[in-house]
Amino acid sequence: MTELRSQDWYGGEGRDGYIHRAWMRRGLPEDAFDGKRPQIAIANTASDLTPCNMHLDEVMESVKLGVAEAGGIALDLPVVSLGETLVRPTAMLWRNMAAMAMEEMFRANPIDGLVLLGGCDKTIPALLMAAASVGIPAVVVPGGPMMNGMFRGKRMGCGTGVWQLSEEVRAGTLSQEAFLASDRSMIRSKGHCNTMGTASTMAIMAEALGMTIPGLAGTPAPDARLLEASQATGRLAVELVREGRTIADVITKESFHNAIVALAVCGGSTNAVVHLMAIAGRLGIELTLEDFDRIGAEVPLLVNLQPSGSYLMEDLYNAGGVLAVLAQVRDLLDPTPITVTGRPLVDYLDDRDVWNDEVIAPREEPLIAGAGIAVLRGNLAPNGAIIKPSAASAHLLQHRGKAVVFDSIEDFHARVDDPDLDVTPDSVLILRGCGPMGYPGMPEVANLPLPQKILQQGVRDMVRISDGRMSGTAYGTVVLHVAPEAAAGGTLALVQDGDEIVLDVPNRTIELDVPADELARRTPSPALVAGYASATRGWERLYIEHVQGADTGADLDFLVGASGSEVTRESH
């Protein structure tokens, strides 16, 4: 083992080493700072205001046991936590801030290795972005999904159930009383979303990237096996430091290939696109929108989970889990990337039986033959837009319709149910001003509720287009992440009511059927421009001035790349 990084603080016989050791002693054994016991920080996103991560203090205690067993020193390091359902105006505004704060604390403190505890949507991406920028050994423990929700004898997925039932209320087929009563049935235990939403998706992405103990992603939060694996992860963190295995050794370009295959075969969240691209950017790995389409387009959808299917994460775990799914598409995976254990991911795919083929479909009978994220380009999205075919309606994947334009989510809410709104089932709903810069933060508002008069006709899906995002728990024929966004001068800002929009997912195009000379004469509507975000101070100002487009991961321009772990100046 090479000299521990923490010895830059604790080593030596001078005044500085004395100060660092003395203030940290607090009951630790004499050999805690002798240069042989790695200092392992447990980056903990537990917070009462991040309900999906509330239980991570318990997980941390199991990690601590493992660290101590392996001879390390375990240190609780609370870090910025983001509660997806609570933080306004959107948790995505704060992902980069959380990653920046975490990065600085990882670098500034005398730590040799990291255990990253995350669950809710933005916490695992932020943790991985930060750890990638610092570069010391790290391993992830996903907090795990909650138990299945049940309502009136049927599975109720968190998030997905909200979108479904709220539409039925607006359509007049479900009472308001029944809708309100259902919220007690949706969240039944600790843990993050039990659908294939962003939290579950990013846990699977962490495993596919090699950053968890293989088989850990998807372990339900209430399951005792999560604590068992957490303890093993604590032991592994010490091993990582002693063997000098860093995050850059684990996550390579080929690791992202495997993550994209996993994203497609599981029907994962579109949000994984911006998160994976941001993580890659921190590592200096080129990852493009085309990679998602090239690698994932022909991958079959095998996981029958909401919102694309019927079941929930607890069912997936009991059916064999993520490794059983990946075993079905082993031939599509790159065999070279290693995991945090030092062994390739594919080494863990032998003898992975599927115990319920209704939850994990056989390779020869996929739910959808080609289910990966589709990347669209055209004059409406020169830098790209994405759609999740597995969550869309097949009959709408090729569609021409007249635009009904909303300049903000507030404009949408004010007018969507107006009986005089000029909208038909064939219309294309356009929501703009919701990109990273314009909102700011790119909120999950793109899966627009349908107009009430359309719902009352029995229609449950329409083509919707936005420069914003969609919850991983949501569904529908929704074109997302349109780039450039309206606020950055994108064509989306020039669309007018009644314009013809042509969507052709099989051919990967999205076009505004308006002559180029006509578009050249148009300017954005005053209401749209007036709604763009502005800020005079604080993080929001920094974010607006430096955020990049969704097509590259929506990181801040000055955070792309790694800064390493070295700190050259002493604090005293």
pLDDT for position 563: 87
Residue 311: CB atoms within 10 A of its CB come to 23
Residue 515: CB atoms within 10 A of its CB come to 8
Q: What tokens were used for 203? A: 């846990």
pLDDT for position 173: 87
- Strand pairing of 463-466 and 478-483? parallel
pLDDT for position 359: 98
pLDDT for position 1: 67
pLDDT for position 303: 97
High-pLDDT (> 70) share of the chain, %: 100
DSSP assignment, residue 512? Answer: E
Q: What tokens were used for 448? A: 């627009």
Residue 156: band (very low, low, confident or very high) from pLDDT cuts 50, 70, 90: confident
pLDDT for position 155: 84
How far apart are alpha carbons 56 and 43 in whole angstroms?
Answer: 10
pLDDT for position 177: 85
Q: For the residues 536-543, what does the mean pLDDT come to?
A: 94
**Phi, psi angles (nearest 5°) of residue 548:** -90, 175
Please classify residue 85 by burial: count the beta carbons closer than 10 Å to its beta carbon, then call 0-12 exposed, 13-18 middle and 19+ buried. middle
High-pLDDT (> 90) share of the chain, %: 85
Query: Within its chain, how far is the Cα of 286 from the centroid?
Result: 19
- Strand pairing of 374-378 and 381-387? antiparallel
Q: For the residues 408-434, what does the mean pLDDT come to?
A: 97
pLDDT for position 387: 96
pLDDT one-digit tens code per residue, 201-213? 999 999 999 999 9
pLDDT one-digit tens code per residue, 373-382? 999 999 999 9
pLDDT one-digit tens code per residue, 453-489? 999 999 999 999 999 999 887 889 999 999 999 999 9
**Phi, psi angles (nearest 5°) of residue 137:** -55, 135
Q: Which residue has the tokens 């962003």?
A: 198
What domains are defined for the chain? 149-187 (no CATH), 374-533 (3.50.30.80)
Q: Which residues pair with 549 in a beta bridge?
A: none
- Annotate 117-140 with three-state secondary structure: EECCCCHHHHHHHHHHHHCCCEEE
Question: What is residue 405's three-state secondary structure?
Answer: strand
